[in-house]
Structure 1
Amino acid sequence: MLVTYLGPVVPGLTDPYVLSLGVRDIPLSCYLVEVSDEAGVEGKIQESDVLVVDEARALQHGDLALMDIEGQLRLFHCHRIGGSFRMIPAGGGQGVFAKQNDCRGVVIGHHRSTRITPSITNTVS
């Protein structure tokens, strides 16, 4: 599942938004990403959802994590197997084996977007 980098979490600037995601004590190693329309509108993670990612957090079994695959950030479910991890794409598909340093960050917060599309109205004078 493809995600788009939105930018770093900046204390004092993005904190109110991040706190609305249910995350407290945000480290400076965090950034925000938005889930692409590839995710669809069904399931736990949907298009336009915003995720808080901590790039300094250690990867653990059961985490949602980001990896850079061919220049694109993609979301994976992590399953620990011995000293490595089996990374299963969040949208389904074949998994890949990875090490801790292959991970670009662990998801620590999730916000369901309530994006409203403005309607266009015609006015007659």
Structure 2
Amino acid sequence: MGDQFPSNCRIVEKGDLAVGCVTVSQSDGCVHIEQLYIAPTYRNRGFGRAVIEEVLSSARLQGQNVRAQVLADPDILRFFEALGFVATSRTTRTIALAWSAEPNQLNCGGTCND
């Protein structure tokens, strides 16, 4: 893959150093977080939180809900729940998450156009 990334991928940087990436898309009237990666040595330093907060802020301004599908890991779930996401479905491997642009309307079980 080299230095070529999809156009919807943003590199997370600390100064001139790339420490991770986030890939976000929009469809069905909502924002989809497709991938969030922070290099292991930079985890638990607020980079991931800052990136997701930026995505949520932008979505809130546009009145869009946000969806993510993550590995079924308790630490990952706690990370997203702390940012206001709720689990909408689960399998043994993944958890579907939703965040609502309207804080009092966490009915995120349907589509983003609801």
> Which TM-score bucket, shorter chain as reference?
under 0.3
RCO higher in structure (CA 8 A, sep ≥6) = 1
TM-score, scaled to structure 1: 0.25
Identify the structure with the greater helix proportion: 2
Larger Rg: 1
